[in-house]
């Protein structure tokens, strides 16, 4: 396994709509393992493939440690979310946006359709904290970042920090996400 470099705001890969996965290859399974190791290493609860420079529709997540529980790593390919319902406003951070946090409105429950590591279709009813993570990561494979979901006033407020981060990314300076605690861990 290997720790991968997390791409930060300003890297065009984060803005690309990622490619659909047709076959779960050994290379993709290795990528998933590396992404999980990277996510745990950075104390994150979710990580999408574009965040490590791979423009494929895949993400890994694990709300377990943030909830004080054991590790329960999960890998999903080609996620599609339907039946989104409920509303919750909670602060979010992102491993690709170190130093930037904001309250983001998300659905509290949803249905996730995806492909698992065996290449089989899965359908799951998801609620609570995991529903937030799944929405954040599915946004990533569509080239959407949590700051895109903020109101104009909040975006204006965060604009200087975002511009600064973009500048650092483009000049090759790597910012690390602060280690969040509990549900404040970055996604």
Catalytic residue among 67, 118, 137, 164: 137
State yes or no: is 91 an active-site residue: no
Q: Which stretch binds Zn ion (CB under 5 A): 11-19, 53-61, 90-98, 99-107?
A: 90-98
Closer to Zn ion by CB, 126 or 187: give it. Answer: 187
Q: Which stretch binds Zn ion (CB under 5 A): 30-38, 150-158, 162-170, 179-187?
A: 179-187
Q: Binding string to Zn ion for residues 92 to 121, with x set by CB under 5 A, is what?
A: --x---------------------------
The verdict on 75 binding Zn ion (CB under 5 A) reads no
Question: Helices (DSSP H) in 4-151: which residue ranges?
Answer: 26-41, 129-141
Q: Which stretch binds Zn ion (CB under 5 A): 4-12, 72-80, 87-95, 176-184?
A: 87-95
101 φ, ψ (degrees, to nearest 5): -140, 150
Q: How many CB atoms lie within 10 A of CB 120?
A: 9
**59, 79 Cβ separation under 8 angstroms:** yes
**35, 60 Cβ separation under 8 angstroms:** yes
The verdict on 35 binding Zn ion (CB under 5 A) reads no
170 φ, ψ (degrees, to nearest 5): -70, -25
Q: How many CB atoms lie within 10 A of CB 42?
A: 19
The verdict on 60 binding Zn ion (CB under 5 A) reads no
The verdict on 45 binding Zn ion (CB under 5 A) reads no
CA 22 – CA 37 distance, rounded (Å)? 24
The residues assigned a catalytic role are 137
Residues of the shown chain interacting with Zn ion in the complex, contacts defined by CB under 5 A: 94, 187
């Amino acid at each position: 396994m290997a720790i991968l470099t997390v791409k930060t705001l300003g890297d065009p890969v984060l803005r690309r709509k990622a490619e659909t996965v047709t076959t779960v290859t050994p290379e993709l399974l290795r990528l998933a393992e590396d992404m999980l190791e990277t996510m745990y290493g950075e104390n994150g609860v979710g990580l999408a493939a574009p965040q490590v420079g791979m423009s494929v529709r895949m993400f890994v997540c694990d709300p377990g440690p943030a909830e004080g529980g054991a590790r329960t790593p999960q890998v999903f390919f080609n996620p599609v979310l339907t039946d989104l319902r409920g509303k919750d406003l909670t602060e979010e951070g992102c491993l690709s946006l170190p130093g930037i946090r904001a309250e983001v409105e998300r659905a509290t429950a949803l249905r996730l359709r995806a492909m698992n590591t065996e290449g089989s279709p899965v359908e799951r009813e998801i609620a609570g904290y995991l529903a937030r993570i799944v929405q954040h990561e599915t946004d990533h494979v569509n080239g959407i970042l949590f700051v895109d979901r903020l109101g104009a006033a909040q975006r204006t407020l965060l604009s200087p920090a975002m511009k600064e981060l973009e500048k650092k990314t483009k000049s090759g300076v790597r910012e690390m996400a602060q280690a969040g605690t509990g549900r404040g861990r970055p996604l």
